[in-house]
Structure 1
Protein backbone atom coordinates (compact mmCIF):
# COMPACT_ATOMS: atom_id res chain seq x y z
CA UNK A 1 0.00 0.00 0.00
CA UNK A 2 1.03 3.60 -0.47
CA UNK A 3 2.90 5.30 2.38
CA UNK A 4 1.55 8.88 2.15
CA UNK A 5 -1.41 8.57 4.53
CA UNK A 6 0.70 6.74 7.11
CA UNK A 7 3.51 9.29 7.02
CA UNK A 8 1.02 12.17 7.31
CA UNK A 9 -0.69 10.43 10.25
CA UNK A 10 2.64 9.74 11.97
CA UNK A 11 3.84 13.32 11.46
CA UNK A 12 0.58 14.70 12.87
CA UNK A 13 0.58 12.46 15.96
CA UNK A 14 4.24 13.18 16.76
CA UNK A 15 3.64 16.93 16.33
CA UNK A 16 0.70 16.76 18.75
CA UNK A 17 2.74 14.75 21.28
CA UNK A 18 5.61 17.25 21.10
CA UNK A 19 3.20 20.17 21.52
CA UNK A 20 1.55 18.60 24.57
CA UNK A 21 5.01 18.33 26.18
CA UNK A 22 5.32 22.11 26.45
CA UNK A 23 1.79 22.44 27.86
CA UNK A 24 2.84 20.20 30.77
CA UNK A 25 5.63 22.55 31.88
CA UNK A 26 5.03 24.11 35.28
CA UNK A 27 5.08 27.84 35.80
CA UNK A 28 7.59 29.26 38.28
CA UNK A 29 6.16 29.92 41.75
CA UNK A 30 7.96 33.25 41.75
CA UNK A 31 8.76 34.93 38.47
CA UNK A 32 12.47 35.52 38.96
CA UNK A 33 15.69 33.67 38.18
CA UNK A 34 15.55 31.57 41.35
CA UNK A 35 11.97 30.55 40.51
CA UNK A 36 13.06 29.53 37.02
CA UNK A 37 16.15 27.72 38.37
CA UNK A 38 13.90 25.74 40.73
CA UNK A 39 12.27 24.21 37.63
CA UNK A 40 15.57 23.16 35.99
CA UNK A 41 14.70 19.46 36.22
CA UNK A 42 11.35 20.13 34.57
CA UNK A 43 13.03 22.03 31.73
CA UNK A 44 15.67 19.30 31.36
CA UNK A 45 12.95 16.63 31.19
CA UNK A 46 11.06 18.62 28.57
CA UNK A 47 14.19 19.19 26.45
CA UNK A 48 15.22 15.51 26.55
CA UNK A 49 11.72 14.33 25.60
CA UNK A 50 11.27 16.92 22.86
CA UNK A 51 14.62 16.30 21.17
CA UNK A 52 14.39 12.54 21.60
CA UNK A 53 10.99 12.51 19.87
CA UNK A 54 12.37 14.86 17.22
CA UNK A 55 15.35 12.59 16.65
CA UNK A 56 12.98 9.64 16.29
CA UNK A 57 10.92 11.60 13.75
CA UNK A 58 14.08 12.41 11.76
CA UNK A 59 15.00 8.70 11.77
CA UNK A 60 11.58 7.69 10.47
CA UNK A 61 11.73 10.42 7.82
CA UNK A 62 15.22 9.34 6.71
CA UNK A 63 14.22 5.70 6.46
CA UNK A 64 10.89 6.29 4.73
CA UNK A 65 11.82 9.02 2.25
CA UNK A 66 12.81 6.59 -0.53
CA UNK A 67 10.42 3.78 0.43
CA UNK A 68 7.52 3.47 -2.01
CA UNK A 69 5.26 0.87 -0.39
CA UNK A 70 4.49 -0.35 3.13
CA UNK A 71 2.71 -3.42 4.46
CA UNK A 72 -0.08 -4.00 6.95
CA UNK A 73 2.58 -5.13 9.44
CA UNK A 74 4.26 -1.72 9.04
CA UNK A 75 0.97 -0.01 9.85
CA UNK A 76 0.57 -2.03 13.05
CA UNK A 77 4.19 -1.50 14.11
CA UNK A 78 3.78 2.22 13.46
CA UNK A 79 0.58 2.33 15.52
CA UNK A 80 2.26 0.52 18.44
CA UNK A 81 5.22 2.91 18.24
CA UNK A 82 2.85 5.91 18.31
CA UNK A 83 1.01 4.42 21.31
CA UNK A 84 4.23 4.24 23.36
CA UNK A 85 5.34 7.67 22.13
CA UNK A 86 1.97 9.17 23.14
CA UNK A 87 2.83 8.38 26.77
CA UNK A 88 5.82 10.75 26.70
CA UNK A 89 3.94 13.85 27.90
CA UNK A 90 2.56 11.82 30.82
CA UNK A 91 5.88 10.25 31.84
CA UNK A 92 7.75 13.51 31.28
CA UNK A 93 5.36 15.30 33.63
CA UNK A 94 5.82 12.60 36.28
CA UNK A 95 9.61 12.46 36.01
CA UNK A 96 10.00 16.25 35.97
CA UNK A 97 8.01 16.53 39.21
CA UNK A 98 9.84 13.56 40.79
CA UNK A 99 13.29 13.69 39.20
CA UNK A 100 15.09 11.71 41.91
CA UNK A 101 12.36 9.09 42.22
CA UNK A 102 13.43 5.68 40.92
CA UNK A 103 9.89 4.62 39.95
CA UNK A 104 9.38 7.77 37.87
CA UNK A 105 12.75 7.37 36.15
CA UNK A 106 12.27 3.66 35.47
CA UNK A 107 8.81 4.36 34.04
CA UNK A 108 10.27 7.03 31.75
CA UNK A 109 13.07 4.70 30.63
CA UNK A 110 10.67 1.82 29.98
CA UNK A 111 8.43 4.01 27.78
CA UNK A 112 11.48 5.26 25.82
CA UNK A 113 12.72 1.67 25.41
CA UNK A 114 9.35 0.30 24.30
CA UNK A 115 9.05 3.13 21.77
CA UNK A 116 12.49 2.24 20.38
CA UNK A 117 11.68 -1.49 20.24
CA UNK A 118 8.51 -0.66 18.30
CA UNK A 119 10.64 1.47 15.98
CA UNK A 120 12.96 -1.51 15.38
CA UNK A 121 9.92 -3.69 14.59
CA UNK A 122 8.61 -1.06 12.16
CA UNK A 123 11.99 -0.86 10.42
CA UNK A 124 12.12 -4.66 10.22
CA UNK A 125 8.74 -4.74 8.44
CA UNK A 126 10.16 -2.45 5.76
CA UNK A 127 13.08 -4.78 5.04
CA UNK A 128 10.63 -7.60 4.35
CA UNK A 129 8.90 -5.80 1.47
CA UNK A 130 11.66 -3.54 0.12
CA UNK A 131 13.21 -4.74 -3.15
CA UNK A 132 15.97 -2.11 -3.44
CA UNK A 133 19.06 -3.66 -1.80
CA UNK A 134 20.55 -0.29 -0.81
CA UNK A 135 17.37 0.73 0.98
CA UNK A 136 17.18 -2.69 2.62
CA UNK A 137 20.74 -2.29 3.90
CA UNK A 138 19.85 1.17 5.22
CA UNK A 139 16.98 -0.31 7.26
CA UNK A 140 19.23 -3.09 8.58
CA UNK A 141 21.84 -0.49 9.61
CA UNK A 142 19.09 1.47 11.39
CA UNK A 143 17.90 -1.66 13.21
CA UNK A 144 21.44 -2.36 14.42
CA UNK A 145 22.05 1.05 15.92
CA UNK A 146 18.55 1.13 17.41
CA UNK A 147 19.40 -2.17 19.14
CA UNK A 148 22.50 -0.54 20.69
CA UNK A 149 20.23 2.35 21.69
CA UNK A 150 17.94 -0.12 23.51
CA UNK A 151 20.97 -1.55 25.30
CA UNK A 152 21.99 1.89 26.62
CA UNK A 153 18.45 2.58 27.81
CA UNK A 154 18.25 -0.83 29.50
CA UNK A 155 21.46 -0.08 31.42
CA UNK A 156 19.91 3.27 32.40
CA UNK A 157 16.76 1.56 33.66
CA UNK A 158 18.82 -0.89 35.75
CA UNK A 159 20.92 1.93 37.23
CA UNK A 160 17.79 4.02 37.90
CA UNK A 161 16.13 1.12 39.70
CA UNK A 162 19.17 0.27 41.82
CA UNK A 163 21.67 3.04 42.57
CA UNK A 164 21.07 6.32 40.68
CA UNK A 165 17.48 7.29 39.76
CA UNK A 166 18.32 10.05 37.20
CA UNK A 167 20.12 7.41 35.10
CA UNK A 168 16.79 6.59 33.41
CA UNK A 169 16.54 9.98 31.75
CA UNK A 170 20.29 10.43 31.34
CA UNK A 171 20.48 7.15 29.38
CA UNK A 172 17.89 8.48 26.91
CA UNK A 173 20.03 11.62 26.53
CA UNK A 174 23.23 9.59 26.07
CA UNK A 175 21.61 7.22 23.55
CA UNK A 176 20.40 10.18 21.48
CA UNK A 177 23.71 12.04 21.67
CA UNK A 178 26.10 9.12 21.17
CA UNK A 179 24.08 6.72 18.96
CA UNK A 180 21.01 8.24 17.28
CA UNK A 181 22.24 11.65 16.13
CA UNK A 182 25.60 10.39 14.74
CA UNK A 183 23.80 7.47 13.04
CA UNK A 184 21.36 9.86 11.33
CA UNK A 185 24.25 12.02 10.13
CA UNK A 186 26.11 8.94 8.86
CA UNK A 187 22.96 7.61 7.15
CA UNK A 188 22.36 10.88 5.32
CA UNK A 189 25.99 11.12 4.22
CA UNK A 190 26.03 7.55 2.89
CA UNK A 191 22.60 7.92 1.31
CA UNK A 192 23.61 11.00 -0.68
CA UNK A 193 26.50 9.07 -2.21
CA UNK A 194 24.68 5.77 -2.90
CA UNK A 195 21.05 6.50 -3.75
CA UNK A 196 20.06 8.66 -6.67
Structure 2
Protein backbone atom coordinates (compact mmCIF):
# COMPACT_ATOMS: atom_id res chain seq x y z
CA UNK A 1 0.00 0.00 0.00
CA UNK A 2 1.27 3.49 -0.80
CA UNK A 3 1.92 6.20 1.75
CA UNK A 4 0.33 9.23 0.05
CA UNK A 5 -3.12 8.89 1.62
CA UNK A 6 -1.59 8.31 5.06
CA UNK A 7 0.53 11.44 4.72
CA UNK A 8 -2.35 13.57 3.40
CA UNK A 9 -4.72 12.39 6.14
CA UNK A 10 -2.12 13.03 8.85
CA UNK A 11 -1.37 16.51 7.51
CA UNK A 12 -5.09 17.32 7.54
CA UNK A 13 -5.55 16.13 11.13
CA UNK A 14 -2.54 18.12 12.33
CA UNK A 15 -3.85 21.25 10.57
CA UNK A 16 -7.21 20.80 12.30
CA UNK A 17 -5.49 20.36 15.68
CA UNK A 18 -3.70 23.70 15.24
CA UNK A 19 -6.95 25.36 14.15
CA UNK A 20 -8.84 24.05 17.18
CA UNK A 21 -6.07 25.25 19.51
CA UNK A 22 -6.15 28.81 18.16
CA UNK A 23 -9.96 28.88 18.30
CA UNK A 24 -9.73 28.02 22.01
CA UNK A 25 -8.06 31.40 22.60
CA UNK A 26 -11.12 33.51 23.32
CA UNK A 27 -11.14 37.22 22.55
CA UNK A 28 -11.14 39.15 25.86
CA UNK A 29 -13.74 41.72 26.76
CA UNK A 30 -12.02 45.08 26.94
CA UNK A 31 -9.80 47.18 24.71
CA UNK A 32 -6.79 48.00 26.85
CA UNK A 33 -3.44 46.23 27.13
CA UNK A 34 -4.17 45.11 30.67
CA UNK A 35 -7.04 42.99 29.38
CA UNK A 36 -4.56 41.04 27.25
CA UNK A 37 -2.41 40.25 30.29
CA UNK A 38 -5.01 37.75 31.44
CA UNK A 39 -4.35 35.81 28.23
CA UNK A 40 -0.60 35.36 28.81
CA UNK A 41 -0.89 31.81 30.26
CA UNK A 42 -3.35 30.82 27.49
CA UNK A 43 -1.05 32.26 24.82
CA UNK A 44 2.06 30.59 26.28
CA UNK A 45 0.34 27.20 26.41
CA UNK A 46 -0.81 27.72 22.80
CA UNK A 47 2.72 28.58 21.64
CA UNK A 48 4.16 25.54 23.41
CA UNK A 49 1.58 23.22 21.85
CA UNK A 50 1.93 24.86 18.42
CA UNK A 51 5.66 24.14 18.56
CA UNK A 52 4.96 20.53 19.58
CA UNK A 53 2.52 19.99 16.71
CA UNK A 54 5.05 21.59 14.35
CA UNK A 55 7.76 19.24 15.60
CA UNK A 56 5.53 16.20 15.10
CA UNK A 57 4.46 17.40 11.64
CA UNK A 58 8.06 18.02 10.57
CA UNK A 59 9.42 14.72 11.86
CA UNK A 60 6.39 12.79 10.59
CA UNK A 61 7.02 14.28 7.14
CA UNK A 62 10.68 13.22 7.22
CA UNK A 63 9.75 9.78 8.51
CA UNK A 64 7.19 9.13 5.79
CA UNK A 65 9.58 10.41 3.14
CA UNK A 66 11.79 7.41 3.95
CA UNK A 67 8.91 4.90 3.88
CA UNK A 68 8.24 2.76 0.82
CA UNK A 69 5.30 0.63 1.97
CA UNK A 70 2.54 1.05 4.51
CA UNK A 71 1.00 -1.93 6.30
CA UNK A 72 -2.17 -2.19 8.38
CA UNK A 73 -0.07 -2.01 11.55
CA UNK A 74 1.50 1.24 10.33
CA UNK A 75 -1.95 2.68 9.60
CA UNK A 76 -3.17 1.81 13.10
CA UNK A 77 0.04 3.05 14.73
CA UNK A 78 -0.37 6.35 12.86
CA UNK A 79 -3.97 6.66 14.05
CA UNK A 80 -2.75 5.94 17.58
CA UNK A 81 -0.31 8.86 17.29
CA UNK A 82 -3.00 11.15 15.86
CA UNK A 83 -5.34 10.21 18.72
CA UNK A 84 -2.90 11.44 21.35
CA UNK A 85 -2.05 14.55 19.36
CA UNK A 86 -5.77 15.30 18.96
CA UNK A 87 -5.98 15.65 22.75
CA UNK A 88 -3.48 18.53 22.71
CA UNK A 89 -6.14 21.24 22.18
CA UNK A 90 -8.01 20.07 25.29
CA UNK A 91 -5.00 19.83 27.61
CA UNK A 92 -3.54 23.04 26.16
CA UNK A 93 -6.74 24.93 26.91
CA UNK A 94 -7.14 23.42 30.37
CA UNK A 95 -3.54 24.19 31.33
CA UNK A 96 -3.65 27.76 30.01
CA UNK A 97 -7.05 28.62 31.43
CA UNK A 98 -5.98 27.41 34.87
CA UNK A 99 -2.67 29.29 34.81
CA UNK A 100 -0.52 26.13 34.80
CA UNK A 101 -2.08 24.50 37.86
CA UNK A 102 -0.59 21.15 38.88
CA UNK A 103 -3.21 18.71 37.56
CA UNK A 104 -3.60 20.30 34.09
CA UNK A 105 0.18 20.59 33.72
CA UNK A 106 0.64 16.95 34.70
CA UNK A 107 -2.10 15.84 32.29
CA UNK A 108 -0.45 17.90 29.55
CA UNK A 109 2.74 15.93 30.22
CA UNK A 110 0.75 12.70 30.16
CA UNK A 111 -0.54 13.48 26.68
CA UNK A 112 2.99 14.39 25.56
CA UNK A 113 4.29 11.13 27.02
CA UNK A 114 1.66 9.07 25.22
CA UNK A 115 2.27 10.93 21.94
CA UNK A 116 6.00 10.25 22.30
CA UNK A 117 5.36 6.56 22.91
CA UNK A 118 2.91 6.49 19.98
CA UNK A 119 5.55 7.99 17.67
CA UNK A 120 8.04 5.37 18.87
CA UNK A 121 5.48 2.63 18.12
CA UNK A 122 4.87 4.10 14.66
CA UNK A 123 8.59 4.11 13.88
CA UNK A 124 8.96 0.51 15.02
CA UNK A 125 5.90 -0.63 13.05
CA UNK A 126 7.48 0.91 9.96
CA UNK A 127 10.76 -0.87 10.70
CA UNK A 128 8.90 -4.17 11.19
CA UNK A 129 7.08 -3.64 7.87
CA UNK A 130 10.14 -2.60 5.87
CA UNK A 131 12.82 -4.65 7.58
CA UNK A 132 15.86 -4.04 9.74
CA UNK A 133 17.87 -2.91 6.71
CA UNK A 134 15.32 -0.25 5.74
CA UNK A 135 16.17 3.43 5.50
CA UNK A 136 14.10 4.18 8.60
CA UNK A 137 15.90 1.48 10.62
CA UNK A 138 19.30 2.84 9.53
CA UNK A 139 18.30 6.43 10.24
CA UNK A 140 16.71 5.90 13.63
CA UNK A 141 19.33 3.54 15.04
CA UNK A 142 18.89 3.24 18.80
CA UNK A 143 16.66 6.36 18.86
CA UNK A 144 18.33 8.05 21.82
CA UNK A 145 16.37 11.30 21.23
CA UNK A 146 13.06 9.45 21.42
CA UNK A 147 14.06 7.56 24.55
CA UNK A 148 15.38 10.68 26.29
CA UNK A 149 12.15 12.55 25.48
CA UNK A 150 9.94 9.83 26.95
CA UNK A 151 12.08 9.66 30.11
CA UNK A 152 11.87 13.45 30.55
CA UNK A 153 8.07 13.41 30.14
CA UNK A 154 7.72 10.53 32.59
CA UNK A 155 9.84 12.38 35.17
CA UNK A 156 8.05 15.71 34.65
CA UNK A 157 4.53 14.39 35.26
CA UNK A 158 4.92 13.64 39.01
CA UNK A 159 7.10 16.74 39.43
CA UNK A 160 4.18 18.86 38.14
CA UNK A 161 2.16 17.93 41.24
CA UNK A 162 4.80 19.50 43.50
CA UNK A 163 6.46 22.20 41.37
CA UNK A 164 4.98 23.26 38.05
CA UNK A 165 7.93 25.34 36.82
CA UNK A 166 10.43 22.43 36.62
CA UNK A 167 7.80 20.36 34.79
CA UNK A 168 7.26 23.13 32.26
CA UNK A 169 11.02 23.51 31.86
CA UNK A 170 11.23 19.77 31.19
CA UNK A 171 8.61 20.09 28.44
CA UNK A 172 10.59 23.01 26.98
CA UNK A 173 13.81 20.97 27.07
CA UNK A 174 12.16 18.31 24.90
CA UNK A 175 11.07 20.97 22.40
CA UNK A 176 14.68 22.16 22.14
CA UNK A 177 15.87 18.57 21.65
CA UNK A 178 13.48 18.19 18.68
CA UNK A 179 13.22 21.78 17.40
CA UNK A 180 15.69 21.10 14.63
CA UNK A 181 14.13 18.45 12.39
CA UNK A 182 15.52 14.98 12.83
CA UNK A 183 18.43 15.07 10.37
CA UNK A 184 19.12 11.35 10.76
CA UNK A 185 16.49 10.49 8.16
CA UNK A 186 17.58 13.23 5.73
CA UNK A 187 21.20 12.16 6.06
CA UNK A 188 20.38 8.48 5.53
CA UNK A 189 18.26 9.30 2.45
CA UNK A 190 21.10 11.33 0.92
CA UNK A 191 23.68 8.64 1.69
CA UNK A 192 21.49 6.07 -0.04
CA UNK A 193 20.95 8.14 -3.18
CA UNK A 194 17.46 9.46 -2.41
CA UNK A 195 16.46 13.10 -2.65
TM over 0.5: yes
Runs (5+) with no aligned partner, structure 2: none
Q: Deviations over 1:63-89 (max 9, x none)?
A: 111211011111111111111111111
**Segments ≥4 residues shifted beyond 3 Å:** 131-135, 166-170
Q: How far is the alpha carbon of 1:108 from its aligned partner?
A: 0.7
Partner of 1:49: 49
Runs (5+) with no aligned partner, structure 1: none
The worse-fitting range, judged by mean Cα deviation, of 112-121 and 65-74 is: 65-74
Q: How far is the alpha carbon of 1:2 from its aligned partner?
A: 1.2
Q: How far is the alpha carbon of 1:161 from its aligned partner?
A: 1.7
| Contact 1:91–1:107 (8 Å) recurs in 2 | yes
| Contact 2:91–2:104 (8 Å) recurs in 1 | yes
Partner of 1:194: 191
Q: How far is the alpha carbon of 1:130 from its aligned partner?
A: 2.1
Separation of aligned partners in 1, 2:71 and 2:158: 35
Number of matched pairs: 192
| Contact 1:102–1:166 (8 Å) recurs in 2 | no
Separation of aligned partners in 2, 1:121 and 1:135: 13
Partner of 1:72: 72
Q: Say what the alpha-carbon RMSD is for the aligned residues.
A: 1.9
Q: Taking structure 1 as reference, are residues 170 and 79 closer, same or farther at Cα in structure 2, changes over 3 Å only?
A: same
| Contact 1:108–1:169 (8 Å) recurs in 2 | no
Separation of aligned partners in 1, 2:186 and 2:135: 14
Separation of aligned partners in 2, 1:53 and 1:91: 13
Task: Say which SS state the counterpart of residue 2 (structure 1) adopts.
Answer: coil
**TM-score of the pair, normalised by structure 2:** 0.90
Q: Taking structure 1 as reference, are residues 181 and 165 closer, same or farther at Cα in structure 2, changes over 3 Å only?
A: same
| Contact 1:52–1:172 (8 Å) recurs in 2 | no
Separation of aligned partners in 2, 1:74 and 1:185: 20
Q: How far is the alpha carbon of 1:29 from its aligned partner?
A: 3.4
Partner of 2:117: 117
